């Protein structure tokens, strides 16, 4: 321990204090647990001992009483808090307190007739008296001062005090080093460089520094849990449900592998009819358990899924209408097309009334040449056509354009059934020659041909449209259907504008979907398999006919309705099984234990008494717990049959896990480091 002369050399700022005053201050602040005589001897300060048994003078007693009275009131409380706060700051605390006391002494000297030394001694005595009069205030202010002096360092250099993403042991080592440095420096300042005190400060500071990251993380985690629970409770209250209900739903949804984003996305995909119970097997199983137990919860769940199922056909019908247009009856459309063909046929008669005679010699000569050169079916077909050009019963070419028109129609009939490619090629060539000859002889014939051909294409497309969703060989592949639609956009022959064949294709497909709906209205799974099929062909086909967005919308509705039906099956099927099991137990007495009579037979009166007491306790427990369970099931059922935005927000809040509040961790470290730095005092 340094002598008083060494202290004066190290701290010249105390030159205005007498040796006695300086010794009093040092003993009071740093060595109060050491007997005064021993302290004086160690620092080399000799004072004359006060005569044993000497009483205080009147002035000394009056001053002491006055000081204690003043420090017992509000000013003493303030003084205790202020001085303890300043003095407890690591490293700079003694300097701050000394500065405050000297300032008070200097100010007092300007207003009273005492010397600066006397006023300084009085200020120090007031500090000591205030802290003695208000120990709790002093302690609290001391801890606050220690934290206030440490937290700026923690926040300014977080890595040095164990913050960051490094391993915990590495952060603990860094914090231990910084804590030891603070503790040792503080001890050096307060002890005047005493080695033992510095060692103690380093030990205390290092120990608390090492604990800082661990305790800070634990405290932050605790604060985070409290904050998360509070926020979830607020969100649950806003959604009109219980915190326990929201937590249960959150666990169920997490068990189905859904986080907040996936939950929201899935509910949006399922549409306005979606319920929380649709999100996965865990939620469905819980709903089934509630539906199996008698009570208000059972009624809520079963009523909700049954009501939703009752509206499935209407929802699917609306989705089909929105995606594919209103329904049509194919036979009605076909009748209208045939009526148009009949009307167009009458136009042929009018056109041939003004027709000119035709010269078919070039056609006949060409046929005769082919007859000579061709063999087989092609030769035979050319012979048939050549014979059609003559006047019936004579070997003379018929100049009547009507005869040539009938020949063209006969060739069309032959082409419809012919499979031999050579025959088809020969017939197609001669038909083109006949068609060109008729076009020059019959006014407006090509226009009438175009109208008739368009109606024929429409009729064929209507039939093909009803097969686009088939799975057999005759159903068009998606590229083939796309080609049909593309060809319909190109005018044919004398036709003006695109063909209506694509419209007839879509009408045929719409009619087929309506047929499927009517035949499988109550079997959503079967409906999905027929319309959606196993692969992507039907989706591609419908996208070609109605647009990708509408096709996707229809498939989404069908998929959603399938999910709703599956949820209902799980809830009702499982709940019915559980209900039967409960009913059987009640009828057979299973799970009820021994009756009083059976217990008496087995163990006599004591056993009967125990059995009776147990039954009474069981009934009371069931009554108490049953009421709570029913209320809990009701709350959970109401939540599971809805998807209210506020409820979804509450579940999302329950799934969120905020980060540890940094301020809490910093405060925790500072609380440890501050007192740790002064732990050896």
Cα 334 to Cα 329: distance, rounded to the nearest angstrom: 9
Q: Quick count: other Cβ atoms within 10 Å of Cβ 103? A: 11
Contact 209, 176 (CB under 8 A): yes
- Average confidence score pLDDT of the chain: 78
Cα 456 to Cα 349: distance, rounded to the nearest angstrom: 19
Contact 371, 382 (CB under 8 A): yes
E-strand ranges in 112-253 read: none
| Residue in 486, 494, 390 with CA at minimum distance from that of residue 450 | 494
Contact 408, 434 (CB under 8 A): yes
Retrieve residue 576's tokens. 């019915």
Q: For the chain, how far is it from start to end, CA to CA, in angstroms?
A: 15
Angle between helices 74-87 and 93-109 (to 10 degrees): 140
Q: What is the pLDDT of residues 500-525, one digit of tens each?
A: 888 999 999 889 888 888 877 667 77
Helix (H) / strand (E) element for 620: namely: helix 596-640
Find the radius of gyration of the CA atoms of the chain.
51
Residue 679: per-residue pLDDT: 47
The ranges assigned to domains in the chain are: 324-559
- In terms of C-beta density within 10 A (0-12 exposed, 13-18 middle, 19 or more buried), how is residue 510 classed? buried
Cα 604 to Cα 596: distance, rounded to the nearest angstrom: 10
Residue 50: per-residue pLDDT: 45
Residue 474: per-residue pLDDT: 77
Cα 211 to Cα 518: distance, rounded to the nearest angstrom: 74
> Rounded to the nearest 5°, which phi and psi values hold at 429?
-65, -45
Retrieve residue 328's tokens. 């049509």
Residue 301: per-residue pLDDT: 93
- The full DSSP string for 362-424 is HHHHHHHHHHHH--HHHHHHHHHHHHHTBPTTSSSB---HHHHHHHHHHHHHHHHH---HHHH
Question: What does the buried/exposed string (b/e) look like for 149-162 if buried means 16 or more CB atoms within 10 Å of the residue's CB?
Answer: bbbebbeeebebbb
Residue 456 neighbours by CB under 8 Å, 6+ apart: 341
- What parts of the chain have a pLDDT lower than 50? 48-60, 67, 578-580, 582-592, 594, 596, 600, 676-677, 679-681
Retrieve residue 53's tokens. 């048994």
Contact 599, 607 (CB under 8 A): yes
Q: What is the pLDDT of residues 170-196, one digit of tens each?
A: 666 776 777 677 777 777 777 777 777
Cα 507 to Cα 545: distance, rounded to the nearest angstrom: 9
**Hey, CA dihedral for 258, 260, 261, 264, is it positive or negative?**
positive
Contact 102, 120 (CB under 8 A): yes
């Amino acid at each position: 321990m340094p002598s008083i002369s060494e202290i004066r050399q190290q701290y010249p700022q105390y030159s205005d204090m007498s040796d006695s005053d300086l010794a009093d201050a040092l003993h009071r602040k740093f060595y109060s647990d050491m007997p005064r005589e021993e302290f004086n001897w160690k620092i080399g300060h000799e004072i004359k001992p006060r005569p044993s048994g000497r009483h205080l003078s009147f002035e000394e007693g009056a001053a002491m009483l006055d000081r204690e009275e003043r420090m017992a009131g509000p000013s003493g409380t303030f003084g205790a808090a202020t001085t303890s706060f300043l003095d407890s700051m690591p490293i700079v605390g003694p300097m701050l307190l000394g500065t405050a006391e000297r300032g008070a002494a200097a100010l007092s000297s300007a207003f009273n007739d005492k010397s600066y030394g006397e006023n300084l001694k009085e200020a120090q005595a007031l500090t000591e008296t205030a802290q003695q009069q208000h120990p709790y205030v002093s302690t609290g202010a001391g801890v606050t001062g220690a934290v206030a002096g440490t937290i700026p360092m923690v926040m300014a250099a977080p890595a040095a005090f164990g913050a960051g993403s490094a391993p915990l042991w590495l952060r603990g080592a860094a914090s231990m080093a910084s804590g030891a440095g603070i503790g040792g420096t503080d001890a050096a300042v307060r002890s005047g460089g005493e080695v033992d005190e510095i060692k103690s400060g380093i030990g205390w500071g290092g120990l608390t520094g090492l604990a800082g990251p661990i305790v800070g993380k634990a405290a932050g985690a605790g604060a985070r849990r409290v904050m998360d629970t509070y926020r979830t409770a607020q969100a649950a209250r806003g959604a009109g449900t219980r915190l326990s209900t929201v937590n249960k739903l959150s666990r169920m949804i997490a068990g189905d592998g859904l986080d907040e984003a996936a939950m929201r996305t899935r509910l949006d995909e399922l549409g306005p009819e979606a319920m929380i119970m649709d999100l996965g097997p865990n939620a469905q199983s819980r709903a089934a358990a509630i539906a199996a137990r008698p009570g208000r919860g059972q009624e809520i769940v079963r009523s909700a899924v049954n009501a939703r199922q009752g509206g499935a056909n209407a929802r699917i019908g609306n989705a089909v209408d929105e995606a594919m247009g209103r329904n049509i009856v194919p036979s009605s459309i076909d009748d209208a097309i045939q009526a148009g063909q009949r009307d167009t046929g009458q136009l042929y008669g009018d056109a041939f009334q003004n027709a000119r005679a035709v010269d078919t010699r070039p056609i006949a000569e060409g046929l005769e040449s082919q007859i000579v050169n061709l063999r087989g079916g092609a030769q035979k077909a050319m012979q048939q056509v050549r014979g059609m050009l003559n006047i019936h019963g004579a070997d003379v070419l018929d100049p009547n354009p009507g005869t040539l028109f009938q020949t063209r129609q006969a060739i069309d009939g032959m082409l419809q059934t012919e499979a031999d490619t050579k025959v088809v090629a020969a017939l197609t060539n001669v038909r083109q020659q006949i068609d060109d000859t008729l076009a020059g002889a019959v006014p407006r014939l090509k226009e009438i041909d175009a109208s008739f051909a368009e109606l024929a294409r429409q009729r064929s497309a209507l039939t093909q449209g009803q097969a686009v969703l088939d799975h057999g060989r005759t159903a068009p592949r998606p590229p083939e259907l796309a080609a049909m639609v593309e060809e319909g956009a190109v005018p044919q022959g004398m036709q003006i504008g695109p063909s209506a064949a694509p419209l007839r294709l879509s009408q045929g497909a719409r009619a087929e979907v309506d047929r499927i709906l009517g035949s499988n209205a109550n079997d959503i799974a079967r409906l999905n398999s027929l319309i959606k099929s196993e692969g992507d062909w039907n989706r591609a086909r419908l996208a070609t006919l109605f647009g990708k967005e509408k096709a996707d919308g229809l498939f989404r509705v069908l998929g959603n309705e399938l999910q709703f039906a599956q949820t209902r099956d799980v809830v009702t099927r499982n709940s019915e099984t559980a209900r039967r099991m409960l009913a059987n137990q009640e009828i057979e007495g299973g799970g009820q234990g021994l009756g009083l009579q059976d217990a008496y037979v087995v163990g006599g009166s004591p056993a009967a008494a125990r059995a009776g007491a147990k039954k009474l306790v069981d009934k009371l427990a069931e009554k108490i717990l049953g009421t709570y369970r029913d209320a809990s099931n009701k709350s959970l059922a109401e939540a599971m049959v809805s998807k209210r935005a506020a409820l979804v927000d509450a579940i999302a809040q329950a799934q969120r896990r905020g980060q540890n509040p940094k301020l809490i961790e910093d405060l925790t470290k500072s609380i440890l480091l501050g007192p740790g730095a002064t732990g050896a005092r």
